[in-house]
Amino acid sequence: MKFSELDKKMRVYETNNDSCVLPGMYIVARIDGRCFTTLTKEKMKFDAPYDERFRDIMVDTVKHLMQTGFKVRYGYTQSDEISLLFDINENAFGRKERKLNSVLAGEASAIFSLRLGEVGAFDCRISQLPNESLVTDYFRWRNEDAARNCLNAYCYWTMRKKGKSARSASNALLNKSVSEKNELLFQKGINFNDVENWKKRGIGIYWEDYEKSATNPLTGELVTTARSRLKVDMDIPCKDNYSQFILQFT
């Protein structure tokens, strides 16, 4: 059998189940760390509940993903997860989901591992969102998940550092309301309102325009040129204000 015939015969097994994101649909990718509790708490021993070294590696990973040839309008990270909002007209790989998932997971795993100096792996899943409202709902969901996780983490690790076991600390949080968790922290000398916003809300990364001064090599004249760069925003809004904030990227 000639190679061309063999290639045609076998290629169908790779592509037969391909699904593509329809034109006009927003693409949002969520990239999650795999077994990161073991990685961050046992292998690398990062500080709990938050560690700025880990935060910075995650931010670097988002910035890398936003500069790998995709048209990404907005990146977001909290904990060990990343969310990316693509330009509505993004057509990389013909919008094939399997290509988006594999490339994004691979790129994230590679750059994260290089920055960390230890193997870290990510998976990826694609959400196909038909309108701006669902896009804002998606990022509102992740933003509010960050707040919930932050409150729980502060409660849990505050008790652990006071001598409670993992089981007893977890059990102590069962069925507690948000106000009760805030009170628990307050009794331990922590006002949750004073916790840094990047911990409670996550971090946004997006493109911003700026002017750069340069000298015209032919005339020697000082000129300004328009450029774009990635901005890391550690003070993004929350709740309804965050929904409005996200709309600018749709």
Domains and CATH numbers, the chain: 9-208+227-247 (3.30.70.3000)
Q: Which pLDDT band holds residue 65 (cuts at 50, 70, 90)?
A: very high
The pLDDT value recorded for residue 223 is: 79
**CB-based contact 79:85 (threshold 8 Å):** no
DSSP state of 216: -
Q: What pTM was estimated for this model as a whole?
A: 0.90
Q: How far is CA 148 from the centre of its chain?
A: 16
**CB-based contact 32:91 (threshold 8 Å):** no
The pLDDT value recorded for residue 237 is: 97
- Tell me the C-alpha distance between 91 and 74, whole Å: 17
The pLDDT value recorded for residue 105 is: 98
The pLDDT value recorded for residue 18 is: 83
Q: How would you classify residue 4: left for phi > 0, otherwise alpha for psi between -120 and 50, otherwise beta?
A: alpha
**CB neighbours (10 Å) of residue 150?**
23
The pLDDT value recorded for residue 179 is: 96
In tens, the pLDDT along 83-113 reads: 999 999 999 999 999 999 999 999 999 999 9
**Average pLDDT over the chain, rounded to an integer:** 94
The pLDDT value recorded for residue 42 is: 83
pLDDT at 7 over 90: no
In tens, the pLDDT along 157-195 reads: 999 999 999 999 999 999 999 999 999 999 999 999 999
The pLDDT value recorded for residue 17 is: 74
In tens, the pLDDT along 30-59 reads: 999 999 988 988 888 899 999 999 999 999
Q: What is the mean pLDDT of residues 221-241?
A: 91
